[in-house]
Structure 1
Amino acid sequence: MKFFTPGIVLPIAFFVTVAIFIVLQNRGNKKLLLDRIKNSWGKIPQKEYTYEELEHIAQFFRQREKEEFSIDDITWNDLDMNRIFILMNQCTSPVGAERLYELLRRPVFEAEELKERQRLMEFFRTHETERHLVQTILSNIRRPGNVSVFEAVHVTSEVTIQGKKGQICCFAAFLLSLVCFILKPNPGVLIFLAVCGFNIATYWGKKGEIDAYLTSFRCVLQLLRAEKLLEKAGISELKTYEEQGRQYRKALSGFQKGAFWVTDRSSLGSSGLDDLLKDYIRMTTHIDLIKFHDMMKSMQEHMVEAEGLISLLGYLDSMISIASFREILPYYCLPDFDAGTQASMEVKELYHPLINNPVANSITARGGVLVTGSNASGKSTFLKNIAINAILAQTAYTCTAASYKAPFFKVMTSMALRDDLESGESYFIVEIRSLKRILDEAKKKENLLCIIDEVLRGTNTIERIAASSEILWNICGENVLSFAATHDIELSYILEDRYTNYHFEEEVRKEDVVFNYLLKEGRVTTRNAIRLLEMMKYGKKITEEARKAVEHFESAGLWEKIEE
């Protein structure tokens, strides 16, 4: 007796071949993913971002922006912090990027939280296998189209959809007609077909209403699956996070049960036999519409837990990303937070993370620091670097320096301002609003680090010097560490009782000006503007007359009228 005929062997061989192909393909995909994860470690990210992408990533932060102190938009833009975020972002999941962005905009004022971040970063750095496992798990969380995961999930928070009772009635009518058909086939078949026809006809309109929210549901399901896999991994160093995630998943258990009826696909017409059967079951019973209402209710009731999953999983991903960021730095240090209350800072060999071959500088600062020097000498870059490292110290627990010692700071800047075309405000109005927010913050008791570049540059010289000297004098209090850059040498004399003078200078050569970007004590004593005009071939008449005018002003204290 032949147990295996060609009619049986061939289909079995076909299905075995397909199964082997699928297994090999999945194994190959996993290997490619792991290779990509390995190759990205300690490397500068190559991804480019549009303004719109960064705005979507920022929404997780925007939702909580006013809960406590955060880096405001003026400071964030002044310091080019988007570029810092992009340089740091090696997250494998979109929730990691959202959490990293939020983390960089919300400085921490407690050492315990920063030490926990350091523990996680050091664990991921030294445990490659566990790091790869966590990254692989998190990589299954996909970006939902052109929006962030937070936006996709949060869109359901205030949705009101009616009609569940009607869908239950359709389901009940289907069951009753089926029973009638079984018990009395002759009249029952007509009733069954009529009910099925009615349910199918009414299904399409309701199906269109729920399609818009399937992306949100899939995001939550991906978060739940990732949390379950993380819990299954059983990494003892992440036990606290696994337990917290378990609580979130438990609260959303009702959301997950039977979700495949709703989220398996967003449109009908699948070619597979099982999919075709599910399509008919959905259309005739409205089971997916009923489950949709249950899922929407569960999601709205447990929005806190859904956002908690975003925060928890994104947090772990962001810690891996910062640990990777550290690997690309020439050197870095862990910040030393001074328990004292006086606003001060001591940094050694501080360099800017966005500059190739940067020049490092050191400073011990208390009270106020006034930096003078010519254009392009390094004033603004140095001031930005001070603020950037204060932020990185209290967020990433990482400083691009040999050493960093300071108390916890609120950080505010007024630097790269411009006219506000939308509101019609001039540069000067924008600037004085920016400075006013710093003055208001300086009145509070918490330590404040403020960075100001070219105070009141939008007005005339006489009023600029008079007003800016008073503003800088009043900002600089016991709880404020104030850094300011200026071209007005007069300020270095007016404010010398509260501000220590530092400067950057350049070497003017025959055909070139060379900047060494080294911070030096004292006020600047050199000028290069007229020399630069000469080097750019402006002509002797202009440069010689300009030099004579300077000499006359310095001797007489007045500007000489230009005559024909």
Structure 2
Amino acid sequence: MAAAYTPMIQQYLRVKAEYQDAFLFFRLGDFYEMFFEDALKASQELEITLTSREGGTEDRIPMCGVPYHSAPVYIEQLIEKGYKVAICEQTEDPKQAKGVVKREVVQLITPGTMMEGKGLQEKENNYIASISVFEDETFGFATNDLSTGETKVTMVSGGFDEVLNELFMSGAKEVVISSDFDGEWQRKMKERSVMAISFEDDCGVRGSFEGLLDDLNQDKLRTTSSRLINYLYRTQKRSLDHLQKVATYQINQYMKIDYFSKKNLELTETIRSKGKKGSLLWLLDETKTAMGGRLLKQWIDRPLIDEQEIKRRHSLVETLMGSFFEREEIREKLKEVYDLERLAGRVAFGNVNARDLVQLKKSLQQIPILKEMVANLPNEEAVRLADRLDACEEVTDMLESAIMENPPLSLKDGNIIQDGYHEELDKYRDASRNGKTWIAQLEKQEREKTGIRSLKIGFNRVFGYYIEVTRANLHLLKEGQYERKQTLTNAERFITPELKEKETLILEAQEKCVELEYELFTSVREFVKEYIPRLQNLAKTVSELDVLQCFAAVSEQRHYTKPSFSNERRVYIKDGRHPVVEKVLNAQEYVPNDCHMDADREMLLITGPNMSGKSTYMRQIALTAILAQIGCYVPASVAVLPIFDQVFTRIGAADDLISGQSTFMVEMLEAKNAIVNATQNSLILFDEIGRGTSTYDGMALAQAIIEYIHNRIGAKTLFSTHYHELTVLEEELQKVNNIHVSAVEQNGRVVFLHKIKEGAADKSYGIHVAQLAELPNELIVRANEILTGLESSNSGPVKKEIPASEKVEEPAAQLSFFEEPEDVKKSPISSKEKKIIDKVKGLDILDMTPLQALNTLYELHKKLKN
């Protein structure tokens, strides 16, 4: 069938066959065209006109296209929706082509390989990941940010869920796997909105990138990294000299925060808006560079557990806090530093322009000043940091002498290279500039000579330079004075031998200027490319300085304090605050609270009304620990903390509709994750465990979970609940302590004090919260009636009093709880059964808590059954 198509369409189909999962942007003249299914889909996604064309068969072929100069805008739209775009260019001069012009794909752009555009957020990494599966049921996991050249790899054990957690934590836009990768695992990745899945079976180490793997000492790590790097080379089809050596990391080198806990704590985005505002990242981000913003997010995602490194960061933050004027100068200079990491990437990738190089020069000019300011700080660690600030003077000098201060955006318009940089270029420029001056002088002379004031010398690409005289003034010219070139409706155009000679000189000079400038720019770019490793190391140091000054600025503004660490796993927080809520509410309105936990006080059972602040209190403890372990000061007047290896949270309720899991199932899965993986050195936050099922089921599960954590794990745990019956566990479990959020009633309304106190809460105030929500008053009154009845009788639903006029005949009286039905009375009863029934009748269940009553009746039921 393909043979029936025209040669050009056949060429399109051959190329498309290799890129079935991508839109093929097929270059035809000044347009990128798409055909067949690509055209139908692209016209819908991009909202562009769908047309058709002859293709060699009876049916016309669907077609749509975009102008090549505006293609980046359309490509970005497709990438943002998770698609891939293959760019197919002409690779042969049409004038020399015999038959159809040769075309081939020069780049595959995917969600994980974006190098520029609005889709590339300046303060966020754009990761692409790869996963390799090995026979011993371990996994290799690697990530790369092509825009910065950073690549990291680790080994993961513990099943595919652990790999998924790493993948989701990385925020990768694309994942590269083998073609035989398990289908169920692929489905799970798509459920969690990984934008694109790609395939690469080539894991061989190539000479072109073997040096990137020098620091890898395991074949599995090399295989995983090679899969990813081979994919990048295969799809990008160009130099990737900015790729840094692959760095290894171990998951247990950092505080582990699983995907659900990161989401519940709103570390980098909020649950409702999915945006940065309202998150811990939003609160902290006082960074002044794009690189610093990305590093801050990485530090929040992976808090440290190395106490020495944490203290090093705290030491630098302390010094910067105590050096206000120096810190402000550093912040001002950092504002003038552009994104060194991505500029280096653009240099290597070949898409850097002259303005980018001017930004690089201006950035490097700030480094010597920053270096001196940091070196003068009264801290040895600051001096070491300053030593790593490499100004790359050779690059600065080269760019200063070579590139104009305000060059055009295009590399083909000239005016890029400085005067005096290259002798031959100066000669061409002189010829061009002098020629144009000569033209202006010639025009003046000819006007004077002929007396024609409207005479002008013009230029166009077809006829070159010409002398133009209007028809009304032709009689003023002498016979044979000029050589006729072109006749217009209202004028005649002429040339002279002298003008033609100057034209040749000027045009040749201009053309050679542009060609030579591009060559010189390329040589400057290649020069800068040699310094990419030094520029990348500089970027790392500037980023670190930026994040540390950010911590100092926020800690001073928000009155945070330097934490200390306890080897006895002691938690002592005085006047602790939730950092984000405090900022939103305003410091004067926020009520601070203390927290005390030690070897004899491992678990705090928190009771109190809804909306009183239980969840906020729990979150603020976790956020305080995270802030401390990323190297920042913390929102408290005093903070003594252990170094936690993991943080687990079960806060809030939400269905996972994508995977078909109910709220309660999500609750149980998150609880399981904590219970299975937590250690004695972990922090667990459980909020309202068991509320997604029936009261007794939920209460039983909650108690069992408390007992398991207390007896088996020993992790520091904050457990909030509305099951007041569980507060008796303080008497039964040695390391459980009751605390509550206080509230008082004033004139029938509840007032939340948001203050944590010792002991259990006396009631839940649920109806008061409903009243605050302004439910109908009739409903509130009825709810109070029901509550009073339940509390007095503990016998089930309370009947509403019905006026006599509305009463209907009552049904036959129901049996009381202990009354024997007729058929039981007539049945023979054993002496053992009689004793148990008598015992049940003698119980005063109303004096028991529901949990005690339930346990008592259950034991009697077992005896009766046996």
For residues 432 and 324 of structure 1, do their structure 2 counterparts lie closer, same or farther at Cα, with a shift above 3 Å needed?
Answer: same
How many residues align? The count is 445
Identical positions, percent: 22
Structure 1 SS opposite 2:388: helix
Q: Which amino acid aligns with 1:418?
A: A
Taking the TM superposition and a 5 Å limit, the aligned residue runs for 1:447-462 are 447-462=681-696
1:77 is matched with 263
State whether residues 505 and 526 of structure 1, in contact with CA within 8 Å, keep that contact through their aligned partners in structure 2.
Answer: no
Q: Distance in 2 between matches of 1:538 and 1:550?
A: 19
Deviations 1:168-220 (A, max 9, x none): xxxxxxxxxxxxxxxxxxxxxxxxxxxxxxxxxxxxxxxxxx43677886776
State whether residues 339 and 407 of structure 1, in contact with CA within 8 Å, keep that contact through their aligned partners in structure 2.
Answer: yes
1:489 is matched with 724
Q: Distance in 2 between matches of 1:274 and 1:504?
A: 70
How far residue 399 of structure 1 moved from its aligned partner, in angstroms, is 2.2
Alignment counterpart, residue 227 of structure 1, candidates 367, 371, 379: 367
How far residue 408 of structure 1 moved from its aligned partner, in angstroms, is 0.7
Structure 1 SS opposite 2:604: strand
- Of Structure 1 and Structure 2, the greater strand share is in 2
1:360 is matched with 592
Stretch moving more, 267-276 or 512-521: 267-276
State whether residues 703 and 726 of structure 2, in contact with CA within 8 Å, keep that contact through their aligned partners in structure 1.
Answer: yes
How far residue 67 of structure 1 moved from its aligned partner, in angstroms, is 4.4
State whether residues 368 and 483 of structure 1, in contact with CA within 8 Å, keep that contact through their aligned partners in structure 2.
Answer: yes
2:193 is matched with none
Q: Distance in 2 between matches of 1:118 and 1:262?
A: 42
Structure 1 SS opposite 2:575: strand
Q: Distance in 1 between matches of 2:756 and 2:119?
A: 37
For residues 293 and 379 of structure 1, do their structure 2 counterparts lie closer, same or farther at Cα, with a shift above 3 Å needed?
Answer: same
How far residue 256 of structure 1 moved from its aligned partner, in angstroms, is 8.6
Structure 2 SS opposite 1:134: helix
Note if 1:108 corresponds to 2:304.
yes
2:789 is matched with 551
Deviations 1:285-335 (A, max 9, x none): 734335545655764xx3xx5443333112212222222212223x43321
Q: Distance in 1 between matches of 2:414 and 2:288?
A: 31
1:404 is matched with 639
For residues 383 and 219 of structure 1, do their structure 2 counterparts lie closer, same or farther at Cα, with a shift above 3 Å needed?
Answer: farther
Q: Distance in 2 between matches of 1:259 and 1:425?
A: 61
Q: Distance in 2 between matches of 1:422 and 1:155?
A: 38
- Of Structure 1 and Structure 2, the greater helix share is in 1
Deviations 1:22-76 (A, max 9, x none): xxxxxxxxxxxxxxxxxxxxxxxxxxxxxx9997534289866574334444333
1:350 is matched with 576
State whether residues 130 and 235 of structure 1, in contact with CA within 8 Å, keep that contact through their aligned partners in structure 2.
Answer: no
For residues 547 and 217 of structure 1, do their structure 2 counterparts lie closer, same or farther at Cα, with a shift above 3 Å needed?
Answer: farther
Q: Which amino acid aligns with 1:286?
A: E
Specify the structure having the higher radius of gyration (Cα): 2
State whether residues 504 and 524 of structure 1, in contact with CA within 8 Å, keep that contact through their aligned partners in structure 2.
Answer: yes
Note if 1:59 corresponds to 2:110.
no
Note if 1:394 corresponds to 2:623.
no
How far residue 361 of structure 1 moved from its aligned partner, in angstroms, is 1.7
Q: Which amino acid aligns with 2:282?
A: I
2:497 is matched with none
Structure 1 SS opposite 2:716: strand
Alignment counterpart, residue 288 of structure 1, candidates 507, 518, 521: 521
Alignment counterpart, residue 322 of structure 1, candidates 545, 551, 554: 551
State whether residues 255 and 298 of structure 1, in contact with CA within 8 Å, keep that contact through their aligned partners in structure 2.
Answer: no
Q: Which has the higher contact order (CA 8 A, sep 6+)?
A: 1
Q: Distance in 2 between matches of 1:494 and 1:463?
A: 17
Structure 2 SS opposite 1:87: helix
Q: Distance in 2 between matches of 1:273 and 1:154?
A: 22
Alignment counterpart, residue 464 of structure 1, candidates 682, 685, 698: 698
Q: Which amino acid aligns with 2:663?
A: Y
Q: Distance in 2 between matches of 1:257 and 1:431?
A: 60
State whether residues 577 and 593 of structure 2, in contact with CA within 8 Å, keep that contact through their aligned partners in structure 1.
Answer: yes
Taking the TM superposition and a 5 Å limit, the aligned residue runs for 1:258-273 are 266-267=409-410, 268-269=412-413
Deviations 1:365-423 (A, max 9, x none): 23111101111111111111111111122224422222112211132322135233444
What stretches of structure 1 of length at least 5 have no aligned partner?
Answer: 1-51, 144-148, 160-209
Note if 1:381 corresponds to 2:613.
no
Taking the TM superposition and a 5 Å limit, the aligned residue runs for 1:211-250 are 211=351, 224-231=364-371, 235-237=375-377, 238-246=382-390
State whether residues 371 and 502 of structure 1, in contact with CA within 8 Å, keep that contact through their aligned partners in structure 2.
Answer: yes
State whether residues 153 and 219 of structure 1, in contact with CA within 8 Å, keep that contact through their aligned partners in structure 2.
Answer: no
1:205 is matched with none
Structure 2 SS opposite 1:333: coil
Q: Distance in 2 between matches of 1:400 and 1:449?
A: 18
Q: Distance in 2 between matches of 1:55 and 1:562?
A: 60
Note if 1:538 corresponds to 2:776.
yes
Q: Which amino acid aligns with 1:458?
A: G
How far residue 281 of structure 1 moved from its aligned partner, in angstroms, is 4.6
Stretch moving more, 480-489 or 547-556: 547-556
Q: Distance in 2 between matches of 1:152 and 1:286?
A: 20
Q: Distance in 1 between matches of 2:724 and 2:758?
A: 14
Q: Distance in 2 between matches of 1:271 and 1:154?
A: 24
Structure 2 SS opposite 1:517: strand
Q: Distance in 1 between matches of 2:699 and 2:571?
A: 27
Q: Which amino acid aligns with 1:452?
A: F
Q: Please, what TM-score do these two structures have when normalized by structure 1?
A: 0.67
For residues 532 and 228 of structure 1, do their structure 2 counterparts lie closer, same or farther at Cα, with a shift above 3 Å needed?
Answer: closer
Structure 2 SS opposite 1:227: helix
For residues 412 and 272 of structure 1, do their structure 2 counterparts lie closer, same or farther at Cα, with a shift above 3 Å needed?
Answer: closer
2:338 is matched with 142
Structure 1 SS opposite 2:755: coil
Alignment counterpart, residue 95 of structure 1, candidates 286, 291, 298: 291
Q: Which amino acid aligns with 2:687?
A: D
State whether residues 450 and 481 of structure 1, in contact with CA within 8 Å, keep that contact through their aligned partners in structure 2.
Answer: yes
Q: Which amino acid aligns with 2:562?
A: L
For residues 463 and 225 of structure 1, do their structure 2 counterparts lie closer, same or farther at Cα, with a shift above 3 Å needed?
Answer: farther
For residues 372 and 227 of structure 1, do their structure 2 counterparts lie closer, same or farther at Cα, with a shift above 3 Å needed?
Answer: same
For residues 154 and 542 of structure 1, do their structure 2 counterparts lie closer, same or farther at Cα, with a shift above 3 Å needed?
Answer: same
State whether residues 347 and 401 of structure 1, in contact with CA within 8 Å, keep that contact through their aligned partners in structure 2.
Answer: yes
Q: Please, what TM-score do these two structures have when normalized by structure 2?
A: 0.45
1:500 is matched with 737
State whether residues 401 and 418 of structure 2, in contact with CA within 8 Å, keep that contact through their aligned partners in structure 1.
Answer: no
Alignment counterpart, residue 564 of structure 2, candidates 328, 336, 342: 336
Structure 1 SS opposite 2:649: strand
Q: Which amino acid aligns with 1:244?
A: R
For residues 153 and 484 of structure 1, do their structure 2 counterparts lie closer, same or farther at Cα, with a shift above 3 Å needed?
Answer: farther
Q: Distance in 1 between matches of 2:574 and 2:664?
A: 36
Q: Distance in 2 between matches of 1:420 and 1:398?
A: 36
Q: Which amino acid aligns with 1:419?
A: D
Q: Distance in 2 between matches of 1:336 and 1:123?
A: 16
For residues 273 and 313 of structure 1, do their structure 2 counterparts lie closer, same or farther at Cα, with a shift above 3 Å needed?
Answer: closer
Q: Distance in 2 between matches of 1:458 and 1:287?
A: 69
For residues 217 and 463 of structure 1, do their structure 2 counterparts lie closer, same or farther at Cα, with a shift above 3 Å needed?
Answer: farther
Q: Distance in 1 between matches of 2:383 and 2:771?
A: 68
2:222 is matched with none
